[in-house]
Structure 1
Amino acid sequence: MRLLLFLLFFGFSSLLLWSQESPSHPVNIKAKYDSARVDFTQFEKKHGGFVHTKNVKMHYLEWGNPRHTPFIWVHGSFTNAYEFADLAKELVQKRYYVIAIDYYGHGQTPIPTHDVSLYHIADDINTLMSVKKLPKAVIGGWSRGGFIATAFYDAYPEKVLGLVLEDGGSVATNTHYHQLPDSTLNAQVKSIFTDRFASATFDTEFEAYKAYYDYSSSGTQFELLAWLGKDSEGKWTIGAGVEKLFHMRNEVEFKETILRPTKASLFGKSMSLIEPKIIYRNLHVPLLIIDPTSPNDLFPFEKDNAALQQQHSKFITHKIYPNTGHNVHYEKPKEFLEDITAFLKRVAGP
């Protein structure tokens, strides 16, 4: 099923409705929705759970045997734990225990009423590990989730077996953008908001499901329900409150997060100021950097990643994916899974 977002700078997304052209054959969308509700409930009963932390009631999905090597996945911006569902099934067959979380404002985890940061999510993951009686785990993440994985290593290095960073978390986010001329940066930020669509809102969950249903595909697409939630006015939408949390609601906030992070929200500030070069100065666990490259590379950090790998050649594996966009695990799931599996085997041992 196609993703419901197009990722831009910082994992920021414009939420777009799929074209609602009439399908070539009739689809009873109400029946699809009713079935999706049943499928979603059954899936959550089997794989879903919640943990109460100091910050929030956090939702997660889990697969496999808790006695096997644990692998905790942190999703990217404007997505949720379901992004890892298909890959988790494959890893379970290879004897890994997989947990994927929803962090603030994503999936079924609300945004806390108090200020929070990447490090608060690291604390939430630590609580989850304590509840699950996991003394250590491999921590992985994509985009913003990669930075959360890095924050977790910074806060709880003794609880990390290894790290997987998919295009995020290995190089400071502002390294590249601070080097751009003002005119170039202004043009890039302006282009994001010029053609940007606001996230649509709906009176009912069914109407939202209907709007985002992929008519070119089939099945109930029950995962859609994990994306949908209510905003402050009770309307159904995707990512309610997340742009405010990230401090990226408009051009001014967007540039403040880059250039003047002390003016940003605590969450936005923590994203801008985290410095992997400092955090990984005493790296002592295996780390896999998954580094996609393309002409319009979101994070053109291959040189910085290579330098980090040379600094810690004993621990870091740097995998470059040529001609690949930001979301490697979606674009090239086979290659991604092969690299993840080889890395986890190295971490878990024979």
Structure 2
Amino acid sequence: MLLLNKSGMIRTFYLLLLLIPFCLKAQRGNTKPELVTAKKLYQQAQQEFVSFEKQHGGFIHTKNVKLHYLTWGKPSGIPLIWSHGSFTNGYELIKVADDLVTAGYYLIAIDYYGHGQTDIPSHPVSLYHVADDIKTLMDQLKIKKAVIGGWSRGGAVSTAFYDAYPERVLGLILEDGGSVATNTHYHKMEASQLANTINAIVAHPPKDTVYTSVFDAYYDIYDPEEAGTQFSSLAWIKKVGEREWAICPGVMELFQMNIAQQWSDLILRPSKVGLFGASFSLLAPQIIFRNLDVPMLILDPVSKDDFMPFEKENAALQAAHPEFIVHKIYENTGHNIHYEQPRRFVQDLSDFLKRVKASR
């Protein structure tokens, strides 16, 4: 299983992944607390989680699912509806949420299918179904327009939302996802290189780790480097049986990334895979944004091992819409900008809010 490196992060798993945005912070060698201490931390984490959910959490029933979401701030702020990356959830912005509220946002962070407290629907779903859920959420919260943003796969959700409901968008924030067709990098490879890349990715396939208690899962994903109760980690743990729990169970199959053939089909024959995976692979930002008419902020991390090297494509998109797009390069930064550079992330979103207000 892909284990969270606490602070809401997922351990580096497949370094070559382009489609799965893991790779946040490699696990350090720090020692975890003794079991007695850990159990006390867990009990406190449970209390903090319940308290936090009472203050910030909510659910709505859409035509697809019972959707969980979090809110920070007051509805008088400018709504920012955030979609998380793969294998995280709405808690991923918890450390910058208050700063974003101070900047003037009313922050709403969803859990989409198989993540956090939102289940995977029994019927086929796509990124566009998530977009429909967001629209339902906006209707219920009486939000006419919002800034729509997300990280990695959540950026793709945001792009799908703009494609489906452009009249409900005040602006777009795309953090390393959603601005460039996801298979762009793979499609530049020769056939043999692509085959070797796929084989390397699936050489050690992830398997769901099943735990016999919530505490066992909590302790397994506890990050000793961060310390504290890490109560938000409880959002990753889902019940999968009478007395069994797991981290994001079923998500790899939802994404169609379990075996080499699925990966190959996602890249070369997306119509052969499940709807959710296909919708991610077939998303065409160049087409969707051909008539862009709202402000957009592209946050583009660049590093030595950048597995989404889309700087040129992002620059070209910005050049096509210079009056709307701001393209921010983050040098020597991994995939997860809001975790690695939270202060600059907040500042860039604060500056963007001024542009959104000026364009209204």
Q: Aligning the two structures, in what range does the TM-score lie when normalised by the shorter sequence?
A: over 0.9
The reply on whether 1:9 has 2:18 as its aligned counterpart is yes
In structure 2, the residue matched to 1:170 is: 179
The reply on whether 1:250 has 2:247 as its aligned counterpart is no
Q: CA deviation at 1:28?
A: 1.4
Pick from 333, 340, 349 the counterpart of residue 340 of structure 1.
349
Q: What SS class does the counterpart of residue 10 from structure 2 fall into?
A: coil
Q: CA deviation at 1:4?
A: 2.9
In structure 2, the residue matched to 1:265 is: 274
Instruction: Normalising by structure 2, report the TM-score.
Output: 0.92
- In the alignment, the residues of structure 2 paired with residue 278 and residue 331 of structure 1 have an alpha-carbon distance, to the nearest angstrom, of 31
Q: CA deviation at 1:155?
A: 0.4
- In the alignment, the residues of structure 2 paired with residue 172 and residue 217 of structure 1 have an alpha-carbon distance, to the nearest angstrom, of 35
Tell me the C-alpha RMSD between the 2 structures: 2.2
- In the alignment, the residues of structure 1 paired with residue 320 and residue 45 of structure 2 have an alpha-carbon distance, to the nearest angstrom, of 49
Q: What SS class does the counterpart of residue 115 from structure 2 fall into?
A: coil
- In the alignment, the residues of structure 2 paired with residue 333 and residue 196 of structure 1 have an alpha-carbon distance, to the nearest angstrom, of 32
* Percent identical residues: 54
Q: CA deviation at 1:334?
A: 1.2
Q: Is the 8 A contact 2:12 2:22 kept in 1?
A: yes
Pick from 43, 47, 52 the counterpart of residue 56 of structure 2.
47
- In the alignment, the residues of structure 2 paired with residue 280 and residue 211 of structure 1 have an alpha-carbon distance, to the nearest angstrom, of 42
Pick from 147, 151, 167 the counterpart of residue 160 of structure 2.
151
- The 3 A distance-change label for structure 1 pair 233 and 256 is farther
* Mapping 1:232-251, distance limit 5 Å: 235-251=244-260
CA deviations on 1:112-150 (whole Å, 9 max, x unpaired) are: 000000000000000000000000000000100000000
Pick from 119, 122, 125 the counterpart of residue 113 of structure 1.
122
Pick from 102, 106, 109 the counterpart of residue 97 of structure 1.
106
In structure 2, the residue matched to 1:37 is: 46
Q: CA deviation at 1:30?
A: 1.3
In structure 2, the residue matched to 1:71 is: 80
- In the alignment, the residues of structure 1 paired with residue 96 and residue 75 of structure 2 have an alpha-carbon distance, to the nearest angstrom, of 17
Instruction: Normalising by structure 1, report the TM-score.
Output: 0.94
Look up the equivalent residue of 2:10 and give its one-letter code.
L
Pick from 318, 328, 334 the counterpart of residue 327 of structure 2.
318
Q: CA deviation at 1:16?
A: 12
The reply on whether 1:282 has 2:291 as its aligned counterpart is yes
Q: CA deviation at 1:348?
A: 2.0
**Mean CA deviation greater in 35-44 or 328-337:** 328-337
**Mean CA deviation greater in 2-11 or 235-244:** 2-11
Q: Is the 8 A contact 1:81 1:101 kept in 2?
A: yes
Look up the equivalent residue of 1:274 and give its one-letter code.
L
Q: CA deviation at 1:233?
A: 7.4
Q: How many residues align?
A: 350
Q: CA deviation at 1:317?
A: 0.4
Q: CA deviation at 1:19?
A: 8.0
Long gaps (5+) in structure 2: 1-5
Q: CA deviation at 1:235?
A: 2.4
Q: CA deviation at 1:346?
A: 1.3
- The 3 A distance-change label for structure 1 pair 12 and 68 is closer
Q: CA deviation at 1:197?
A: 4.4
In structure 2, the residue matched to 1:185 is: 194
- In the alignment, the residues of structure 2 paired with residue 255 and residue 15 of structure 1 have an alpha-carbon distance, to the nearest angstrom, of 25
- In the alignment, the residues of structure 2 paired with residue 232 and residue 152 of structure 1 have an alpha-carbon distance, to the nearest angstrom, of 34
CA deviations on 1:166-209 (whole Å, 9 max, x unpaired) are: 11101111122112011211222222222454332101111111
- In the alignment, the residues of structure 1 paired with residue 241 and residue 275 of structure 2 have an alpha-carbon distance, to the nearest angstrom, of 21
- In the alignment, the residues of structure 1 paired with residue 327 and residue 53 of structure 2 have an alpha-carbon distance, to the nearest angstrom, of 35
The reply on whether 1:297 has 2:297 as its aligned counterpart is no
- In the alignment, the residues of structure 2 paired with residue 103 and residue 87 of structure 1 have an alpha-carbon distance, to the nearest angstrom, of 20
CA deviations on 1:222-265 (whole Å, 9 max, x unpaired) are: 01100111236752111101011111111111111111101110
Q: What SS class does the counterpart of residue 83 from structure 1 fall into?
A: helix
- In the alignment, the residues of structure 2 paired with residue 221 and residue 203 of structure 1 have an alpha-carbon distance, to the nearest angstrom, of 20
The reply on whether 1:203 has 2:215 as its aligned counterpart is no
Look up the equivalent residue of 1:120 and give its one-letter code.
H
